[in-house]
Structure formats: structure tokens, C-alpha cells
């Protein structure tokens, strides 16, 4: 991955402090590439050869490109826009000891709490403001070092290095400053460019102020917030935009709320993906059985980062199937189908990697250490198609600062370019075939 592309990824991460900003960045990149926005509340008229995108809830996005010629099914890639963090409550200000002011927050997702201590933080997200036309959402980012969550000194907690438990309701409230009632709301109103009286409500989250950077003797490692899962979002987007015309309709879907179960109107456990596919097909004259046959020749790549073997704790990894940083794209496998990969979808994806000359690795959880799941098996509960779970290897997953390999993003972009440019068809005997342009 060249330096220009690496810097573009780091800039994307920096401009995406929350899921709302990430989706706004995606929409801007798609618009710059000629894609047109569609509104769910309006009728759709689609033109062959044109690309489109739909945003739901400002935090989920689905993009697709209408083929100019005959096409079979949908080539879908899905990733997620959210990362573990802390949500700021509406009644945010909490008076603290020593005439201080802290913010009331609640954990969002399963983060590594200690990683948030003793570093500059700020808040970003969206607010709803009152206008003459109605209630209007606006993105906000207090773009300066604003907050800190201070540790308790070792002199007062001699067991701190033995693993002191952190209580989110006590230990993780960020310090805003000295007591000044109403200061936080004034800051947010100013960031939104409105009067305080017009600030109706908020969806605000903490984020670390560090910029992503390259580390390592040869600069071969990425050290940045939100690599899970914006690194996959970025790699899939690059492949989606670079791919030529194939025999399938390319679809890129980025869901919100994966870190909290996906059970929202904009998550993978919603009708968002099926709504977009069925409406796009209907606008092109494919309804009823014609739509169902298109679904039958479709495929899903669920892209969410994977655990690399840890340099200090290799015992947490399976002894045979563990990925390494800069070792290429990871295919994730679980016997209990917490990942959707099976032999068929694995074979299809590996053939794509072979064609793209991309290194591919395999990941399984250690048999006695159950892992998490992804949006893949949630999505396929709504859209019954073969699916493969993949990701990029990383360390410190769910820390506010994660580590990944520089070269792996390019590997993902290359195989996704091949995927979106290919066509997939079902074979009568249960197999699948890949076609080239």
C-alpha cells in the first residue's frame, strides 16, 4: 500500500470520529465519484450505468451501481460504521468533588475501558435542532482537546497494576473542567451553529483525539482509533469504486449498531438491505419470481476485522489457524456458525483472492475460547444467500487505539475489486461459478 493511499485511509479515520461522520464521508466520496443520492420516501427511477446510494438514520449507507448490460444477481459487501465508545447522556453535566464538572456517559459496545484513561478526548455526533421547517439533524464535532478521564494515582490504589476494575458509573466519567453550569450545552450549541434554545436533543459520543499514524521500524503498522471496522469499510469502498462492469449488480452496505447487536432500524437486523435490493430490482422491472432468481444468484461478503495472533499472548490463538499482521485478508470460520463461512463460500472467496493475487489467511477461535459474531449471519437471516465472513488482522480490538498492518488494506481493496467486477452464478449441483468481465 503506497504512502498516498495509507494517508488517505488515516485521513478517513480522522474525519470519522463517529458513525455519522463516517457515513457523511462515504456519501461525499460516492458523490465525488458520480453516484447520486436516493431518498427512501420517494419513488426511484434508475438509469443503466449509473451509481446510487441511500442513507438511513445518518449512520447506515447502501450504494449500488446499475449494470449497463444483462446481470444475474447481487454482489454484496457489508461492513459496519460504529465502534465501541461512550454515549453522552442528555443531562450531561455532573458536579464532582473539588468544584469540578464531569459528563455523564454510558458505555456503547464492549470497549477496553482502561484504554480511554489519561488521554485527550472530545465529543462528536449529531444534534437535532429546531428550524422553521421542522426538526433538522446536524453533525457536530468539538474539534479540540476537551475532556480527560484521569486515573486514580497509584499512591491511592496500590493494586492498580494488578487489574483494578473500572466502574463505568464512577470511574469513567470524563472531566470537563471546573464547575460552570451550562458550559457543555453552550459548547454543543456553538458547534452546531445554533442558539441554545433551538437545541432539541443530541446523539453525542466520546472519541480519542489522537490521529492515526504509522509505527514500526519500517512504518509497516497502523496505530489508530476505529480500525474496527472503518478499515474494512475503506477497503471495501475502494474495491467498489475501482471495479469494472461485471455480471452482478455491485452493492456496498455499511450498517450502524453492529457493536450493540444490530437490532435497530438501521442495523443489519433490519430490512434496510432487503428494502434497497427489492426496490432497485423493481425499478429495473425485476419483481416477483424475477427478483427471487436474482437473489438466488447473489453472494455476501461480510467484512469485519479479525484477531491477529498477539505477540505477548500467542496462547489465546488457535495453534493452527491464526492470522498475522500484514499477512493478507482473513477468512473467518466457526463450527457453530457465529461466522457464516462454509466450504462453498470459502472456496468462492479463495478463488477471488487467487485471481487478485492477494494473500489469504484463515482464522478460527481457540476451541475453548468462544468469540463474537458479525453482521453476516444477521444479514443472511433476512436475505438467504451464501456468505463468507472475512476481515483484516488487528491487535487491541475494541481499544480506543488499535493496531493493524499497513499492507492488508490494499489486499482487501484488490480482492474486493475482483469481487465486484466478477459475476457469480449457481450451478445445478450446489456449486458456484465465477465469471470475469
Select from 279, 290, 311, 270 the least CA-distant residue to 396. Answer: 311
Which of the pair, 257 or 3, is modelled with greater confidence?
257
Q: What is the pLDDT of residue 437?
A: 47
Cell of 296: 438466488
Residues 6+ apart with CB under 8 A from 423: 71, 72, 75, 246, 247, 248, 434, 435
Select from 74, 124, 34, 103 the least CA-distant residue to 251. Answer: 74
Residues 6+ apart with CB under 8 A from 248: 67, 71, 72, 73, 74, 75, 297, 298, 299, 420, 422, 423, 424
Q: What is the pLDDT of residue 377?
A: 86
Q: Does 178 score more than 90 pLDDT?
A: yes
Q: What is the pLDDT of residue 436?
A: 60
Pairing of strands 36-38, 51-56: parallel
Select from 416, 398, 400 the least CA-distant residue to 360. Answer: 416
**Cα separation, 293 vs 15, whole angstroms:** 40
Select from 392, 367, 388, 368 the least CA-distant residue to 379. Answer: 388
Select from 392, 398, 382, 381 the least CA-distant residue to 416. Answer: 392
pLDDT band at 111 (very low <50, low <70, confident <90, very high): very high
Residue 385: count of CB within 10 angstroms of its CB: 18
Q: Does 2 score more than 60 pLDDT?
A: no
Q: What is the pLDDT of residue 423?
A: 85
Q: Does 3 score more than 70 pLDDT?
A: no
Residue 167: count of CB within 10 angstroms of its CB: 9
Helix (H, G, I), strand (E, B) or coil at 139: strand
pLDDT digits (tens, 9 = 90+) for 256-295: 999 999 999 999 999 999 999 999 999 999 999 999 999 9
Q: What is the pLDDT of residue 1?
A: 47
**Cα separation, 372 vs 362, whole angstroms:** 16
pLDDT digits (tens, 9 = 90+) for 5-61: 789 999 999 999 999 999 999 999 999 999 999 999 999 999 999 999 999 999 999
Pairing of strands 306-307, 393-395: parallel
Cell of 384: 438467504
The 121-131 sheet, strands edge to edge: 134-141, 121-131, 199-208, 85-96, 100-108, 175-178
Cell of 33: 465519484
Delineate the domains of the chain, giving CATH numbers in brackets.
Answer: 3-83+225-435 (3.40.630.10), 85-208 (2.30.250.10)
Amino acid at each position: 500500500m503506497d504512502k498516498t493511499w495509507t494517508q488517505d485511509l488515516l485521513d478517513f479515520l480522522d474525519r470519522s470520529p463517529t458513525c455519522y461522520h463516517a457515513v457523511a464521508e462515504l456519501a461525499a466520496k460516492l458523490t465525488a465519484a458520480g453516484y447520486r443520492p436516493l431518498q427512501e420516501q420517494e419513488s426511484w427511477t434508475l438509469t443503466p450505468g449509473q451509481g446510487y446510494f441511500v442513507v438511513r438514520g445518518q449512520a447506515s449507507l447502501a450504494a449500488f451501481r446499475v449494470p449497463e448490460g444483462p446481470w444475474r444477481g447481487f454482489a454484496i459487501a457489508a461492513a459496519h460504521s460504529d465502534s465501541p465508545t461512550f454515549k453522552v447522556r442528555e443531562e450531561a453535566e455532573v458536579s464532582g468533588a473539588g468544584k469540578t464538572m464531569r459528563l455523564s456517559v454510558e458505555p456503547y459496545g464492549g470497549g477496553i475501558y482502561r484504554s480511554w484513561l489519561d488521554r485527550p478526548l472530545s465529543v462528536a455526533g449529531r444534534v437535532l435542532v429546531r428550524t422553521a421547517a421542522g426538526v433538522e439533524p446536524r453533525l457536530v464535532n468539538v474539534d479540540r482537546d476537551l475532556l480527560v478521564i484521569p486515573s486514580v494515582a497509584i499512591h491511592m490504589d496500590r493494586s492498580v497494576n494488578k487489574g483494578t476494575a473500572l466502574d463505568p458509573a464512577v470511574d469513567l466519567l470524563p472531566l470537563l473542567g471546573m464547575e460552570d453550569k451550562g458550559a457543555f450545552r453552550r459548547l454543543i450549541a456553538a458547534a452546531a451553529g445554533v442558539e441554545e434554545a433551538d437545541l432539541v436533543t443530541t446523539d453525542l459520543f466520546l472519541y480519542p483525539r489522537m490521529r492515526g499514524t504509522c509505527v514500526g521500524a519500517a512504518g509497516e503498522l497502523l496505530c489508530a482509533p476505529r480500525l474496527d471496522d472503518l478499515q474494512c469499510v475503506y477497503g471495501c469502498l475502494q474495491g467498489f469504486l475501482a471495479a469494472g462492469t461485471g455480471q452482478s449488480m455491485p452493492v456496498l452496505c455499511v450498517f450502524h449498531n453492529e457493536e450493540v447487536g444490530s437490532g435497530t432500524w438501521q442495523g443489519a437486523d433490519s430490512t434496510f438491505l432487503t428494502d434497497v435490493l427489492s426496490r432497485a430490482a423493481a425499478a429495473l422491472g425485476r419483481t416477483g419470481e424475477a427478483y427471487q432468481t436474482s437473489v438466488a444468484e447473489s453472494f455476501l461478503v461480510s467484512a469485519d476485522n479479525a484477531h491477529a495472533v498477539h505477540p505477548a499472548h500467542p496462547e489465546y490463538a488457535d495453534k493452527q489457524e491464526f492470522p498475522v499482521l500484514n499477512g493478507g485478508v482473513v477468512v473467518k470460520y466457526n463450527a457453530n456458525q457465529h461466522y457464516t463461512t462454509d466450504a462453498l463460500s470459502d472456496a468462492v472467496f479463495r478463488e477471488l483472492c487467487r485471481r487478485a493475487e492477494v494473500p489469504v489467511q484463515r482464522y478460527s477461535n481457540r476451541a475453548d475460547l468462544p468469540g463474537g459474531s458479525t453482521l453476516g449471519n444477521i444479514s443472511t437471516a433476512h436475505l438467504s444467500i451464501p456468505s463468507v465472513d472475512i476481515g483484516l488482522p488487528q491487535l487491541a480490538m475494541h481499544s480506543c487505539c488499535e493496531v493493524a498492518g499497513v499492507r492488508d488494506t490494499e489486499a482487501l481493496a484488490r480482492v474486493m475489486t475482483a469481487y465486484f467486477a466478477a459475476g457469480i452464478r449457481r450451478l445445478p449441483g450446489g456449486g458456484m461459478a465465477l465469471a470475469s468481465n
